[in-house]
Each structure stands twice: as C-alpha cells, then as structure tokens.
Amino acid sequence: MDKLDLVQLQRQLSHQGILMSFSGPFSHSIIEELGHAVKNYLEDASLARSSLMDVFAIYIEQAQNVRNYIKRWEQHPDHAQLRHSGIVVIAHDDGRYIVSSGNLIDRADAPGLVAHLEHLSGLDKAELKALQRRQMREPLTAAGGGGLGLIEMARKSSGPLLYTLTDIDDRFAFFSLSVTI
C-alpha cells in the first residue's frame, strides 16, 4: 500500500464539505457513537432544532439501513465482502446538509429498490404523508421493517432522494443514497 497522505485526504474532505464520514463494518454501538458525535457537531453549529433533528434522524435511518441489509447476509459466504462495504457521510453545502450512505447490494434486489425510490420521487409531501399512514397499518416486511424509512427520508428531504447503482460484478452493485436537508 502506498503511504497514506492524510493532509491530502483532509483537504479533499474539507473541499467537498464533508463533516463526518465512516466506512467499514456497522454495528449498533458504532451507529450510536457516531450519532452522538453528529448531534454534538450540529448543536455546536447552532442549527435550528428541527433541522438538527432531521439530519440526525436521516443519519440514523441510513446507517441502520446499511447495517440491517448487511446483517441479512450474515450466514452467506459473501458476508465478509458485504460487511466492509458500508459507508455513511454527512456533508454541508450552500447552507444545506447532505446525508449519504452506500453499501453493496445483491443485484437481484436492485429492481425492487429502484421501483420504490422512483415511486417515492413522484409523490408530493401530502402524498408521502398519506402513503406513510397507509404503510404504518401494514404488517412488517420479512426484512423487519414496514418500508417506512425511505418514506420518512423523502418527507424530510428538501428535494428528491438521489441514488446511484454501480455494478461491481455479476452478483453485486454498489447502492448509494443521498438526502438533502
């Protein structure tokens, strides 16, 4: 491995407005500790309470989504590859906060995820609220959630949920999601 140039890395993070980044295996304790750091940073930045809570809630939701997806693969031979693929980033740009996350996903899961995200992007705030209410009455999914996380992020976002899928190999794609507050 080449020598890691931390000065250059710090400059790049600063230039891109990145306030916090974590890449690696996600655990409940890491999510919790980073959550405390995020909350403290945002409080020090004198962010309005509602915006602070939105950024914090979206960070928690995205980090848990990464952790929960990877956890579903614990007994699979490819788990080690997936386990280390998670990343979450909080950035500040032009008065807005952007919370982004990413991880490897099975390419077979991509069409359903994309369809759900595209459906959400076509809804206004009132329609998202109505969808959330309907979804709350539905049973939990096999993955353990009621599908509410993405709906809640779409409601809090100041724009559409932005996502990318990058094919890695025949089995996996890297999914990334960005939410602007």
**What residue ranges define each of the domains in the chain, with the CATH number in brackets?**
6-180 (3.30.565.10)
Task: With beta carbons less than 8 A apart as the criterion, state whether 146 and 133 touch.
Answer: no
Round to whole Å and give the CA distance between 5 and 26.
25
pLDDT(172) > 60: yes
DSSP-derived secondary structure for 123-177: --HHHHHHHHHHHHTSPPPTTSS-SHHHHHHHHH-SSPPEEEEEE-SSSEEEEEE
**How many other CB atoms sit within 10 Å of the CB of residue 66?**
26
pLDDT(160) > 70: yes
Amino acid at 101: S
For range 96-118, the mean pLDDT: 96
Question: What is the CB-side half-sphere exposure of residue 94 using CA atoms within 13 A?
Answer: 1
The predicted-structure confidence for 85-103, as pLDDT tens digits, reads as follows: 999 999 999 999 999 999 9
- 89 forms beta bridges with 21, 100
The model's pTM is: 0.90
